[in-house]
Amino acid sequence: MLDIKYIREHAEEVKENCEQRRVKVDVDELLRLDGERLKLILRVEALRQERNEIAEKMKTPKAGRLERASPVARAGEREAFITRGKEVKQEIAELEPKLKTAEESANNLLLQVPNLTHPDTPRGESDADNRELKVIGKVSKPKFQPKSHVELAAQHDLIDFERGAKVAGTKFYFLKGKLAILEQALIRYGIDFSMREGFEFLMTPDVAKEEVMVGKGFLPRGPEKQVYYIEGEDLALIGSSEATVLGYHMNETLAADQLPKKYVALSHCFRREAGAYGRESYGLYRVHQFSKVEMFAFGAPDQSEAIHLEFLRLEEAFWKSLEIPFRVVDCCAGDLGGSDYRRYDLEAWMWGKNEGKGGWGEVTSTSNCLDFQARGLNIKSSNKEFVHTLNGTVVATPRALLSILENHQQADGSIKIPKVLQSYCGFEKIG
């Protein structure tokens, strides 16, 4: 979350940022509630101090003024203390619920305020306005008509969408045979790739408490509910290991001389994709469950921009090694997530998009979130400042499998396995 002090001092800037990010939040109402909250805090604290002073005066004095007074005077003054003590207690009892309501109302609005936006981030409303930075690899249409991964999977019996829907509902699926092995190869290669770069490997829980998900800047009960909740529990299935890795250091102080701390995590991810239908969702492109290998860093404020560029470099190197054409885009303000300060996406070429004409599809992203998430989860360094948090996808398996099938297909319908994965798979082609 943003620092409320910053919002008080830069209200117009925050309003403009919300507008650029396409986030509707009443900043004026937030500031009004914040002012009400501050007044109530001051009044309640003053009353609590007075209550403590009365209690101290009510104690049997040793050599004070009340001891030297006559019995009648002592009784009268004691009665006044009792009367005032009751009044203070009653006023505190009346104000504390109002304070709690004001705090909750202000906090609910504060959670809706997005992160600040990097000054070089392009302005725009959707991913159509993202700025292309570079294209790596050459997109050249083969001499035959390329098939979509859905057609290729049917040809080689690699995915069973029908039985996935029968067992778990639409957009769930079974991977079969060599494609299932290829997924495991991608996961292991992604982990090995990251560990060679100095990342510590974590296998995270597949669930997180709501306070962790909210603290990282996600509103799971918002208008597009993306989370599967576990009934009767304060738990939800995670949509990314971002929540669990951030929660790993929640309410902790990290040694400043050991920053940055870098992790690579494997998790199973679950997303309801509410509101997603109507957007591109063919085959494996948009599903409810998948595996993902993801990088994370907790760094000092003066480290985060360099770490962000490092994450982008590593994502490019990983996807280049898969021999798949892709482009890098600088995401516009309207396409950023609530916690993103700046985000770069990698979009691979996919022949199945646009009714077989082909197009770019997002396969990874990397975000610098500054101290936005660390503030919500209370993660500081030993120099008493909030750390900066960053994340970057190495590989989300459905879109990686999709990209490999469509870009490495051959004229006879077989699919070549990228060289870097052949030793992990134990075979060189499918079909």
List the catalytic residues: 271, 286, 362, 365, 399
Buried b (16+ CB within 10 A) or exposed e, 194-205: beebebeebebe
> Alpha-carbon distance 136 to 142, whole Å?
18
Cβ-in-10-Å burial (0-12, 13-18, 19+) of 302 comes to exposed
CA geometry: angle 375, 246, 31, nearest 5 deg = 25
Find out whether 361 and 280 touch, Cβ atoms under 8 Å. Answer: yes
Find out whether 285 and 245 touch, Cβ atoms under 8 Å. Answer: no
What DSSP string runs through 300-350?
-TTTHHHHHHHHHHHHHHHHHHTT--EEEEE--GGG--TT-SEEEEEEEEE
Find out whether 404 and 379 touch, Cβ atoms under 8 Å. Answer: no
> Alpha-carbon distance 361 to 140, whole Å?
16
> Alpha-carbon distance 152 to 81, whole Å?
85
Distance of CA 168 to the CA centre of its chain: 26
What DSSP string runs through 268-303?
EEE---TT-BTBS--TTSS-SEEEEEEEEEEE-TTT
Residues 6+ apart with CB under 8 A from 315: 346, 364, 366, 392, 393, 394
Best CA proximity match to 218, nearest among 41, 56, 37, 369 = 369
Best CA proximity match to 201, nearest among 214, 192, 212, 209 = 192
Helix, strand or coil, per DSSP, at residue 228: coil
Distance of CA 40 to the CA centre of its chain: 33
> Alpha-carbon distance 257 to 263, whole Å?
17
> Alpha-carbon distance 400 to 349, whole Å?
11
> Alpha-carbon distance 140 to 426, whole Å?
28
Distance of CA 89 to the CA centre of its chain: 43
> Alpha-carbon distance 177 to 158, whole Å?
6
